[in-house]
Amino acid sequence: MRIALLAGVVAAALVVAACGGDNNNGQQQSASAPGAASAPSATPQLSLAAQVGAKMFFDKTLSGSGKISCATCHNPDFAYGPPNGLAVQLGGVDDNTPGVRAVPSLRYKEFTPPYSDLLDNPDGVTPPGPGGGFTWDGRANSLADQAKIPLLSTYEMANRSPDAVVNTLKAGPYAALFKQAFGENAFADSAKAFTMAMSALQSYQQEDPSFHPYTSKFDLLRHNRGNYLTPQEMHGLQLFNDENKGNCIACHLSGNAQGGSVAPFTDYSFEAVAPPRNMEIPANADPTHVDMGLCQAAATGHTPANSAKFCGMFKTPTLRNVATRQSFFHNGVFHTLRDVVEFYNKRDTNPELFYSKAADGSVNVYDDLPVQYQPNIDMTVPVVHTRGAAPSMTEQEVDDLVAFLGALTDDFQPPSK
């Protein structure tokens, strides 16, 4: 999360860019090249490793049930996110075992830094804090590391062991391609072959342009290639940046001026936003099951005992393509973007709209985080915290902000003149 000070500056910069039309404001433009540079027609040749990764990504024989692949949960038609509104997807050897967290999009992960308790914030002003890494709790340091998790998880692809994955690859239809990519003896050492297979999945996600197309309306605007945002969407952008209204920019970094060249819509930081407990997740039927994110990520050395200040924190996700999703937050508790923005607007003014009620009718505020960790909850957004007070945004402004989020969806085709 960044301090509010700069938000006004950035808001101003974006408005200038928005009104600037075709005049080229020099360095900023050339610094933000990745989207502009790649001509949509030219499909770059994938490396052999990435070609192996592409086959693996869609290969259902790499699951214990034989029924799911990476693409089942990370569907390319939904920005590599889930294709349905389930809070958690099904997997496992029976293909019927529910997961415990919502499936993130795999787009725009290419600049994710490895996890650190003291990550330098890309905005250049916020003091270092927990950030980076893959999954909602940052426990994998690279895409290659991350790929092991779903392949071996009992509720995802549920392979018995790394050897089982390698044996499937060795006997499968692209074993020859695997050897071409990694050497004639690539299968000789099973542990090494597994590592190569994971790097193949990483290369695919890094190299294939469909994981980072930069083809939203917002990207055209950013690159001075035309402003196709409607007046409502433009207003939503202002609200997004306005520290007294949405203040979304404080974590979902968007401007050219900060965040480097790519407008990732995340600063990779961990924050406790306190979405309500979601009883759609079967594991939550057990009241002692509490997903506290970062402080439970054993792989990064955290436990609730040694990292109490991190309990309730999850990684800030990118908002690019967020309008293609049907469940939101780490626990998938909301199913429309409007509900999410309403929550951000009214979490503290009208908590009764979101949280469960106790037997005496009082509201269990922040009901998915034990009370001793609630001081970790971020107070940047909502802007207004007084129970019963008017929230920072009107209903119309909430609609406008939701409309703007839709301008972050890729594959926008500008109307031909």
Query: What 8-state DSSP symbol labels residue 333?
Result: -
Question: For ligand HEC, which residue of 247, 300, 324, 349 counts as binding (CB under 6 A)?
Answer: 247
> With contact defined as beta carbons under 8 Å apart, do 332 and 102 qualify?
yes
Q: Is 89 in the site for ligand HEC (CB under 6 A)?
A: yes
CB 62, CB 165: distance < 8 Å:
yes
Question: How far apart are the C-alpha atoms of 175 and 186, rounded to whole Å?
Answer: 10
The Cα 398–Cα 248 span in angstroms is 12
Q: Establish if 101 lies at the interface with ligand HEC (CB under 6 A).
A: yes
Tokens 């900023």 -> residue: 28
**Nearest-approach distance from CB 143 to ligand HEC, in angstroms:** 5
Kindly tell me which of 218 and 224 has the beta carbon lying closer to ligand HEC. Answer: 218
Closest contact distance (angstroms) between CB of 415 and ligand HEC is 27
Site stretch for ligand HEC (CB under 6 A), options 15-23, 136-144, 186-194, 359-367: 136-144
Q: Degrees (nearest 5) of the Cα angle 143, 144, 148?
A: 105
Q: For the CB of residue 90, give the shortest distance to ligand HEC in the complex, in Å.
A: 7
Among 104, 131, 255, 391, which residue interacts with ligand HEC (rule: CB under 6 A)? Answer: 104
Position 264 contacts ligand HEC (CB under 6 A): no
Candidates 81, 132, 123; CA nearest to 297 is: 132
Which range binds ligand HEC by CB under 6 A, 104-112, 210-218, 278-286, 300-308?
A: 104-112
Does the protein bind ligand HEC through residue 156 (CB under 6 A)? yes
- Between residue 279 and residue 338, which ones bind ligand HEC under the rule CB under 6 A? 314, 316-317, 319, 322, 325, 328-330, 337
Exactly one of 51, 141, 146, 254 binds ligand HEC (CB under 6 A); which one? 146
Among 78, 108, 115, 136, binds ligand HEC (CB under 6 A): 136
| 378 is a site residue for ligand HEC (CB under 6 A) | yes
Only segment of 13-21, 100-108, 160-168, 220-228 that touches ligand HEC (CB under 6 A): 100-108
Is 348 among the residues that bind ligand HEC (CB under 6 A)? no
Nearest to 62 by CA among 185, 197, 190, 177: 197
Q: What angle do CA 366, 369, 375 make, to 5 degrees?
A: 75
Size of the site for ligand HEC (CB under 6 A): 52
In whole angstroms, how close is the CB of 2 to ligand HEC at the nearest point? Answer: 9
Spell out the residues 6+ positions from residue 30 whose beta carbon is closer than 8 angstroms to its own.
none
Q: Which of these ranges, 13-21, 38-46, 97-105, 118-126, lies near ligand HEC under the rule CB under 6 A?
A: 97-105
Closest listed residue to residue 152, CA positions, set 167, 140, 163, 141: 163
**Pattern 159-198, ligand HEC, x by CB under 6 A:** ----------------------------------------
Q: Which residues of 77-105 are buried (b: 16+ CB within 10 A; e: fewer)?
A: ebbbbbbeebbbbbbbbeeebbbbbbbbb
Cβ(233)–Cβ(403) under 8 Å?
yes
72 binds ligand HEC (CB under 6 A): yes
Closest distance to ligand HEC from the beta carbon of 326 (Å):
10
Count CB atoms within 10 A of the CB of residue 15. 14
Task: Tell me if 252 contacts ligand HEC by CB under 6 A.
Answer: yes
The span of 9-17, 147-155, 300-308, 369-377 binding ligand HEC (CB under 6 A) equals 147-155
CA proximity to 10, closest of 301, 297, 241, 340: 241
Whether the Cβ atoms of residue 107 and residue 318 lie closer than 8 Å to each other: yes
Helix (H) or strand (E) holding 125: none
Cβ closer to ligand HEC: 224 or 266? 266
Give 151-183 as a DSSP string: HH-TTTT--S-HHHHHHHHHHSTTHHHHHHHH-
Q: Which residue in this structure is represented by tokens 């020099």?
A: 26
* Cβ 414 to ligand HEC shortest distance, Å: 25
Return residues touching ligand HEC (CB under 6 A). 1, 68, 70, 72-74, 89, 91, 99, 101, 103-104, 106, 109, 134-137, 143, 146-147, 150-151, 156-157, 201, 246-248, 250-252, 271, 273, 275, 314, 316-317, 319, 322, 325, 328-330, 337, 340-341, 344, 378, 380-381, 401
